[in-house]
Amino acid sequence: MFVLGLTGGIGSGKTAASDYLASKGICVVDADVVARQIVEPGQPALAAITQRYGADALLADGSLDRAWLRQKVFAEPAERQWLESQTHPRIRQAIIDQLQNASSEYAVLVSPLLFESGQYQLTQRTLLIDVAEDIQIARATSRDQNDEQQIRRIIAAQMSRTDKRAKADDIADNSEDLAHLYQQLDQLHHTYLQLAQA
């Protein structure tokens, strides 16, 4: 299976891009979705988080309080490292399982931490959805109701835009409207179909 790794910073438009490729019949495995699945009630990762942080980490219904945990781990790097040690191996295995079950001409692995987490090693080619940081901040604050400082902390914790651009095989600019993004994705999709068949 030819696997495309799709990445970009917060607010860059990864979901718009992956939704468009999914509309072409391509199987999309989203690392963020997998990350939510592995911390659902009854999952070992949630048990480990609860053991470390107690009831503070949970909502009234027993599910993970993501907002509380996000603030905790972005404020304390050692806690983020601990959390990643619990979640990343489980996320990786679930991603591998889902990619192996893909039945489209190629598959897409969407991950904001594609390079940082080593998930790019599961792919044959990588695509960066790229926008300037000021656009990221504007889009992410309007979408997520996060304050600007929180968005800046998330951006600072991720690989720099310059480094991502250097590592990516392909780059789609998403600083304009969706039509502009889709035009680039159409050309890339054609290339990926050819590579998958080769």
Residue-wise pLDDT tens digits, 150-172? 888 888 888 888 999 999 999 99
* Domains, the chain, ordered by start: 3-38+89-197 (3.40.50.300)
Average pLDDT of the chain is: 92
Write down the pLDDT at residue 171: 97
Higher pLDDT, 149 or 106: 106
Record the pTM: 0.83
For 20-74, write each residue's pLDDT tens digit: 999 999 999 999 899 999 999 999 999 999 999 999 999 999 999 999 998 899 8
CA distance 127 to 121: 13
Give the end-to-end CA distance of the chain in Å, rounded to a whole number.
11
CA distance 154 to 146: 11
Q: Do you know the residue count of the chain?
A: 198
For residue 57, give the DSSP letter: G
Look at residues 28, 188, 197 and name the one whose alpha carbon lies nearest to residue 108.
Answer: 28
CA distance 113 to 116: 5
CA distance 90 to 183: 35
pLDDT band at 139 (very low <50, low <70, confident <90, very high): confident
The CA dihedral of 97, 116, 33, 130, to the nearest 10 degrees, is -120
Write down the pLDDT at residue 74: 84
CA distance 73 to 35: 15
Q: Is residue 144 predicted with pLDDT exceeding 70?
A: no
Higher pLDDT, 135 or 106: 106
| CA 100 remoteness from chain centre | 19
Q: Is 11 annotated as a binding residue?
A: yes
Q: Is 118 annotated as a binding residue?
A: no
Give buried/exposed letters for 149-169 (b at 16+ CB in 10 A, else e): ebbbbbbeebbebeebeeebe
Q: Is 175 annotated as a binding residue?
A: no
Write down the pLDDT at residue 39: 95
Q: Is 14 annotated as a binding residue?
A: yes
Q: Is 25 annotated as a binding residue?
A: no
Write down the pLDDT at residue 114: 93
Q: Is 166 annotated as a binding residue?
A: no
